[in-house]
Amino acid sequence: MSKPNKLTHSLDRFADILTAEDREKILDLQKQPLPTGIRINPLKADPATAIRDLAARYDWDVHPIPFCDNGWTIQSAGQSPGTTIEHRLGLYYLQDAASMVPVSLFDFSEPHPLVLDMAASPGGKTTHLVDRTGDKGFILANDGSQGRIPALRSVLSAWGGVNLAVTQYPGESLGGWFPETFDRVLLDAPCSMENLRPTVNHPLRDTTIDERLRLGERQLALLVSGLQSLKPGGLLVYATCSLAPEEDEAVLNALLDRFPRALSVRDVSDQLPFKTPGLTQFNGQPYHASLANALRLWPHLTGMSGFFTALIEKQASIPTPECEKPPTRSFSRTGLVRLDDETAKQLKIVISENYGLDLKAILNEYNLCLYERLDLIHLIPQRYLDHFRHLPYEWIGMPLGRLLADDFQPSPEFINRFGRHFKRGIIEIFGENIPQWIAGRDIRYPETDLSPEGQYLLVTDPAGRNLGLGKLLPKRLRNMLPR
């Protein structure tokens, strides 16, 4: 038997539901590093092609994640996946495989869903929502902590989604502010992180029953708010990176006690390659039988970190007490002004001439509008304007670029997202210039047949990689990668 440690102590309280052999297997997992999970960005590349090229380029041994179409695990790596230019520019996101389960459970059969991500930072699951909706719904990515907003903005900016807005409000208030508004709600709840599979970033720590119960109370309040904001017939995914029943089944059990006829926990066992049902009792406390439909991802059964998640269907309305109205701000106070028709027409012509890109088709496909603030043009989601026009936000849509006289300076975000569709306005760099460019340095006297006129170009290499934005000047290619 392994020497007792913090994990051994944590496992002791599961003695009535885990055998001694199960507990020993979990302890043995600590000798094995958790494989790195990677999810390819389908907005920027074909995932199957991208993972093949990345594996060859960086000497990765990759294995598909069966429940996530765009997910793989990296079992070994010649170059760390967190150090590449592709990671920096949002071609992929590093995410534990267990964290890919919650969003994978959603059915997105509706073409343009309104989605609420209640506790979104740092943004991994938000980017997964962008992928699953094809960036054609609208996602309100909220987080209650102001200190976590910069990380969320950074991740979403790199990912390249346009149909989203970032807000910073208490999640407990959202149901009262926006009753029966959203088609899908994700609550990746704040938790104790008692996942029984420690990592470098999240080592083992002691938790107390008081902490777990306090967290459970807040999780229940967030859940009720999320369900109040959900339309009848809509779906909510509840998730924690904790295996503490006080934060998982006990919370859902209290929810079902409160709204016994309005909710059901869907059976999603056929969506995963392993059987890890939720608990129907713990420490002598019985739970609703339907909680067996939840997913309790024990590390020794899945090979992943510990995780809990459940898919809840709202079958009928639930009481929503009257409360104060949501914060409001006249949209005019944002400084954003709808781009006039003549300027919009000029912009579309310039983008077509410079890059062979049909901006009108993009606006139609993603239901976007052109707005300007000072001299910067933005892509703004029409669905935000339709449903949340007066809700103050921290970030919205995507900066498109600047129209300067008869020229156009694209934003790095626009280049990184839509560059794969360019037919013109591309410069290729070679040899030792590639690592120099990736390091953030300019290229002196680049090899090109283009006449240097200060034009803004998509930079690529012979492998066709999107290497960001550059400005071609008479003696150099100016590096405009995000710093």
Q: Which residues contact 312 (CB under 8 A, 6 or more apart)?
A: 227, 235, 236, 237, 238, 252, 255, 263, 264, 265, 266
- pLDDT class for 30, splitting at 50, 70, 90? confident
Dump pLDDT digits (tens) for 362-400: 999 999 999 999 999 999 999 999 999 999 999 999 999
8 A C-beta contact, residue 226 and residue 179? no
Averaged pLDDT of the chain: 94
SS3 content of the chain, % helix, strand, coil (to 5): 35, 25, 40
Alpha helices in 248-287 (DSSP H): 249-258
| pLDDT surpasses 70 at 4 | no
| pLDDT surpasses 50 at 3 | no
What's the pLDDT score for residue 8?
54
| pLDDT surpasses 90 at 204 | no
Q: What percent of the chain has pLDDT over 90?
A: 86
Dump pLDDT digits (tens) for 421-470: 999 999 999 999 999 999 999 999 999 999 999 999 999 999 999 999 99
Q: Which of 68, 191, 241, 369 is catalytic?
A: 241
| 191 a catalytic residue | no
8 A C-beta contact, residue 362 and residue 368? yes
pTM of the model: 0.95
| pLDDT surpasses 60 at 302 | yes
| pLDDT surpasses 90 at 207 | no
8 A C-beta contact, residue 161 and residue 132? no
Task: Output the CA–CA distances (angstroms, integers) from residue 442 to 372, 435, 473, in the order listed.
Answer: 30, 11, 11
| pLDDT surpasses 60 at 2 | no
Comparing 84-93, 387-396, 474-483, the range with the smallest average pLDDT is: 474-483
- What does the pLDDT average to over 123-127? 98
- What does the pLDDT average to over 401-426? 94
The Cα–Cα gap between 61 and 54 comes to 10
- pLDDT class for 1, splitting at 50, 70, 90? very low
Dump pLDDT digits (tens) for 140-195: 999 999 999 999 999 999 999 999 999 999 999 999 999 999 999 999 999 988 88
What's the pLDDT score for residue 206?
74
- pLDDT class for 318, splitting at 50, 70, 90? very high
406 or 55: which leads in pLDDT: 55
